[in-house]
Every structure is written in C-alpha cells, then in structure tokens.
C-alpha cells in the first residue's frame, strides 16, 4: 500500500485538520522533507493554502482545531499546535485551546522546532540568509530617509546586526553612521 493510500485510510478520506473531504493531499510537517506516514498529514486545499500563505488566513476556518488537536496522530497534533500558536497572538479562543492541549515532550519539541523554521529571515539579493556579524555590499545607490545623502553602490557594511522588529532589515554602520538597510539591497560578501 502506498504512503498516500495509508494516509487516506488513516484519515478516513477527510482533512486531518478541518474534516473536509475535498481535494486532499499529503503535507509534510517540517522540519521533515519526506512524505511518510509518521511525518505527514492529509489536508485539504483550503488548509494547505492558509498554512503556506499566512496572510490569507480565515480565522473562523481554524476553529476546527478544537477537534483535531485531540487527534492520536502525532503529525496532526504538531500542525494543530502550530496553527493555534500563530492564531493565539490575536485570538483568545486559540490561546484557550493551546492552554488545554497536551502533547508528549518529544512531540512538543517537534512542534516548536518547526515554528522556528517558519520565521522570516533577512535575505540578500541572491536569497542568501544574512546573519549577525556578516559583511555585505550595497548593490545600488540608496537614498537615506530624511536626508539628502545617498549610500553609494559598492559600499561595504561590516559586522551587521539583524533587526529584531523587521526581518527584512539589517543594521550596520555606513560612513560612520548606524542605520537600517533593506536586506534585499545587499549582497553577502
């Protein structure tokens, strides 16, 4: 029996998160990369779309987690916890469900590891992740807000810091002045 057939049998041909029976597909639960029965869930297109594009989240759709969080399947527990964790920042009911949810210690670690992977990271023009202490080169002339000055193309910014508030920005000294620069206008040296 194929992995997908085993997953369909496990979920009785219904989305393991919301219970929908349309357009089901296996979804690998990060940080894993292979579709296996132990590392994947069967979810519908609606759930998949909202997981992959958090800006399209319909909060009321995720009230279904009230049921799926109690699943005996570990990958389903992990996905339910992650969605509740994201929603709990703005939704009181999600925090209430999180407070009730129980997971084994190993399952909780898996859930938290995957949350870190989803965090947005500063990327340079080539898609390379920038980290604290890196040196970067500015790839085009950048005007400095509130000033008539310009950071010239080719300027090197050494020993950068990563912004805590906005992952699209880095911080460093340019011509002796500390300032923020948009990461996509830099190239890692």
Task: Write out pLDDT tens, residues 135-167.
Answer: 999 999 999 888 888 999 999 999 998 876 677
Identify whether the C-beta of residue 49 lies closer than 8 Å to the C-beta of residue 27.
no
Q: Which fold has domain 136-188?
A: SH3 type barrels. (2.30.30)
Q: Is 64 helix (H, G, I), strand (E, B) or coil?
A: helix
Distance separating alpha carbons of residues 91 and 72, to the nearest angstrom: 25
Instruction: Please count the other Cβ atoms lying within 10 Å of the Cβ belonging to residue 53.
Output: 9
Identify whether the C-beta of residue 132 lies closer than 8 Å to the C-beta of residue 122.
no
Delimit the domains of the chain by residue range.
Answer: 3-114, 136-188
Give per-residue pLDDT as tens, 49-99: 999 888 888 999 999 999 999 999 999 999 999 999 999 988 999 999 999
Distance separating alpha carbons of residues 144 and 151, to the nearest angstrom: 7
Distance separating alpha carbons of residues 58 and 64, to the nearest angstrom: 12
Nearest to 123 by CA among 176, 166, 88: 166
Instruction: Please enumerate in sequence order all residues whose Cβ is within 8 A of that of 123, keeping only pairs 6 or more positions apart, or say none.
Output: 129, 130, 183, 184
Could you tell me the end-to-end alpha-carbon distance of the chain, in angstroms, rounded to an integer?
A: 50
Instruction: Give the pLDDT band of residue 131 (cuts 50, 70, 90).
Output: confident
To 10 degrees, what angle do helices 92-100 and 74-87 make?
140
């Amino acid at each position: 029996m194929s992995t997908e057939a085993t997953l369909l049998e496990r979920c009785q041909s219904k989305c393991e998160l919301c219970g929908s029976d349309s357009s089901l597909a296996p979804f690998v639960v990060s940080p894993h990369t292979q579709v296996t029965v132990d590392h994947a869930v069967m979810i519908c297109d609606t759930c998949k779309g909202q997981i992959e594009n958090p800006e399209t989240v319909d909060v009321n759709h995720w009230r279904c987690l009230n049921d799926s969080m109690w699943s005996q399947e570990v990958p389903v527990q992990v996905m339910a916890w992650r969605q509740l964790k994201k929603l709990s920042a703005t939704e009181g009911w999600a925090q209430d469900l999180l407070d009730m949810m129980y997971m084994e210690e190993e399952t909780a670690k898996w859930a938290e590891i995957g949350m870190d992977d989803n965090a947005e990271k500063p990327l340079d023009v080539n898609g390379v992740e920038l980290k604290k202490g890196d040196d970067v080169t500015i790839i085009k002339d950048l005007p400095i807000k509130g000033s008539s000055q310009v950071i010239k193309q080719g300027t090197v910014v050494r020993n950068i810091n990563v912004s805590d508030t906005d992952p699209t920005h880095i911080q460093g000294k340019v011509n002796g002045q500390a300032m923020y620069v948009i990461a996509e206008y830099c190239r890692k040296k």
